A and B are shown apart, each in its own frame.
Chain A
Amino acid sequence: MEITVDTPAILPARPHYITTHKGYGRRKTTNGVMLSLTGLATLLALAPLFWIIGYVLYKGGQSINLALFTQLPRPVGMAGGGVLHAIEGTLLLTLLSGLIALPPGLLAAFYAAYHPNTPLGVALRFGTDVLAGVPSIVIGIFGYALLVKPAGHYSALAGAVALAILMMPTIIRTTEEMIRLVPGNLREGSLALGAPEWKTALRVTLPAALNGIVTGFLLGMARAAGETAPLLFTALGNDRFEIGRMLRSGQSLPVALWKLIEQPVDSLPLTLYKYTQQPSAERINQSWAVAFVLLAIVLLANIAARLWVQARSAKLRG
């Protein structure tokens, strides 16, 4: 292979088509107009968010009291009472559905990230996209057919399974994206030391992607915590639900826990939905308070996760 550089004998004449320029005035005006438009659009997009949060805080804040967090509901028409059953139910359902969704979600995400072009990988990606678009009430009916009908009764477990199915696509897709973002040479560094692939995934790739995975997991949980439709057919509602009473009942812990998840359970959105249907000013006011509590739980969980993620990144970067 000879190395030559081709130099044309005669170069074309230097062009001079560009003789004027329009100056910066017009550019500045255009820039100003477009910037204002995008700024306005941003404000418009943010307005509902702050409106909703502000209104719920305002209306809910008026009905917030200690009893709300410590007492079970009283019959309609009686003043007072609280929504302890729904707060506990929401925490239980969210936690349980997270526990159910996390292991398969994580493993499936690793599979999809490592084998994106295999038939199973493609099917998984397509499947999660479809599942993400399935109306949540359909998942509720599925949960009913799968767990409620055979068992003969509604249960927290059925609700948690329905919510787990609901959050699975979010967990799988965000985890997969985060795993893909881990630099390939990190994985190779481990494999080059002779580490097996599973150990590399567990000890190197997972910690490197953990911040994003936690964020994605939390998004899934937050969505599940706010769902009503799938619970109508699965968890049903239970205004006598009380974790403390169940744990103090003298039964051994596993039995008590099992009883806890195999009875119907209430949740904040479910309670909100039911309370707003009631012809009672007390209930309407309480439903605002319920909205307030739901919003607060989701926001606090998000803030806590963000702080944790920030602290972890800071520690890793030194």
Chain B
Amino acid sequence: MNIATNLSTTQSISAPQTQTGAQVNLAVPKAQVTALPAKMELQALSVFYNTFQAIAEITLTIPANQITAIIGPSGCGKSTLLRALNRMTDLTPNAHVEGAVTLDRENIYAPGVDVVDIRRRIGMVFQRPNPFPMSIYENVAYGPRLYGIRQRKVLDEIVESSLQRVVLWDEVKDKLGQSGMALSGGQQQRLCIARALAVEPDVILMDEPASALDPIATLKIEELMQILKNTYTIVIVTHNMQQAARVSAYTAFMMINQNRAGTLVEFGQTSQIFTNPRNKQTEAYVTGRFG
């Protein structure tokens, strides 16, 4: 978890800043630029439930192949923000999104974008492990099957490699036919991560992935994240500040403003957010004085 040295090697690369979304308001402030190539960019992203604004114009850059943590007190819109990143907000009746979210510089909210493709490239892991009521094998093969993979041999390979990548293969290889719901909580969560990996995403969104797990299972998930970040971009929402400090390279701190809309207070390298926050509210939060 040597964040500082990780970053120093790539410091010279500047993030490409492009405005691709047609509906992007150019007058909004630029993202707080990170020194790494951007995987995703949020440009003045707002989320509304009916007329209530849950997220107010958040602009930030999610660096590629890093873990970015989103922290903040309950009800500040962290999960809403995360769900907006792979258009899960589409599923909430009366929710609508303004601004833009880009993935590899393409606005995922642009008209004509295939939402299924977006969800394939941006996977999601939920707070409570949610294995489907089917076998371990079928849980992992579910995604690839959606994308037309039928041959048993290919599916076998995908299942094995996905389970290996979440370090679950050795524990389940002899009982792939058993129900996924029969595993322990930590194993279930790793199964859910394997299920997300099986459709070959670029980005994995994790919504408090360890909050329903015991400390040892949590540790395993965190170790897993460190392995996965080499090949995937990870965004994690967490209540646990120690977890954010342990696993992430970048941290976004969110709070609600006077209109109860979630706003971005500060975004930066995790080491800076936790040791040298620029904002007084960030400091109060990370030092545990509120929240």
Interface, chain A (partner B; CB < 8 A): 1, 3, 183, 185-186, 188-196, 199, 203-204, 207-208, 315-318
Contact = CB atoms under 8 A, between A and B. Distances in A.
B143 interface: yes
15 contacts: A3-B284, A185-B128, A186-B132, A188-B91, A191-B119, A194-B115, A194-B117, A195-B143, A199-B146, A208-B132, A315-B179, A316-B182, A317-B181, A318-B181, A318-B183
A148 B164 CA distance: 64
B180 to A, nearest CB: 9
A3 B128 contact: no
Nearest to A195: B146
A318 B146 contact: no
Contacts of A315: 179
A270 to B, nearest CB: 41
Interface string B161-187: 000000000000000001101110000
A193 B143 contact: yes
B88 A188 contact: yes
Interface string B9-41: 000000000000000000000000000000000
A193 to B, nearest CB: 5
Given A1-B255, A193-B142, A193-B146, A318 B130 contact: no
A7 to B, nearest CB: 15
B116 A185 contact: no
A199 B147 CA distance: 12
Interface in B206-265: 255, 257-258
A186 B128 CA distance: 9
A234 B167 CA distance: 63
B interface: dominant SS: mixed
B281 A193 contact: no
A3 B290 contact: yes
Contact of A189 (B126, B147, B181, B289): B126
A208 B134 CA distance: 9
B80 interface: no
A19 B240 CA distance: 44
B40 to A, nearest CB: 16
B105 to A, nearest CB: 21
Given A193-B146, A195-B146, A208-B132, 19 more contacts: A1-B281, A3-B289, A183-B130, A185-B126, A185-B127, A185-B130, A186-B130, A186-B133, A188-B124, A188-B126, A188-B130, A189-B130, A192-B123, A193-B123, A193-B199, A196-B116, A207-B133, A317-B181, A318-B183
Nearest to A197: B91
Contacts of A185: 126-128, 130
Given A3-B290, A194-B117, A203-B132, A189 B192 contact: yes
Contacts of B78: none
B205 to A, nearest CB: 8
A207 B281 CA distance: 47
B281 A3 contact: yes
Contacts of B258: 1
B190 interface: no
Given A185-B128, A199-B146, A317-B182, A193 B196 contact: yes
B136 to A, nearest CB: 10
Given A1-B255, A1-B281, A193-B143, A316 B119 contact: no
A318 B178 contact: yes
B270 interface: no
Contacts of B88: 188, 191-192
Interface string B274-286: 0000000100100
B120 to A, nearest CB: 5
B86 interface: yes
Nearest to B207: A185
Contacts of A207: 132-134
Contacts of B133: 186, 204, 207-208, 316
B181 A316 contact: yes
Interface centre among B88, B91, B133, B183 (most CB of A within 10 A): B133
A280 B128 CA distance: 67
B94 to A, nearest CB: 11
B146 A194 contact: yes
Nearest to B175: A318
A31 B243 CA distance: 49
Contacts of B146: 193-195, 199
Contacts of B290: 3
A111 to B, nearest CB: 15
Contacts of A189: 124, 126, 130, 132, 192, 195
A316 B147 CA distance: 26
A191 B142 contact: no
A316 B126 contact: no
Closest 6 CB pairs of A and B: A318-B182, A192-B124, A194-B119, A194-B116, A189-B130, A193-B143
A280 B43 CA distance: 88
A318 B179 contact: yes
A3 B258 CA distance: 13
B2 to A, nearest CB: 32
Given A199-B146, A204-B132, A194 B199 contact: yes
A43 B255 CA distance: 58
Given A1-B255, A183-B128, A186-B130, A193 B195 contact: yes
Interface in B89-141: 91, 115-117, 119-120, 123-124, 126-128, 130, 132-134
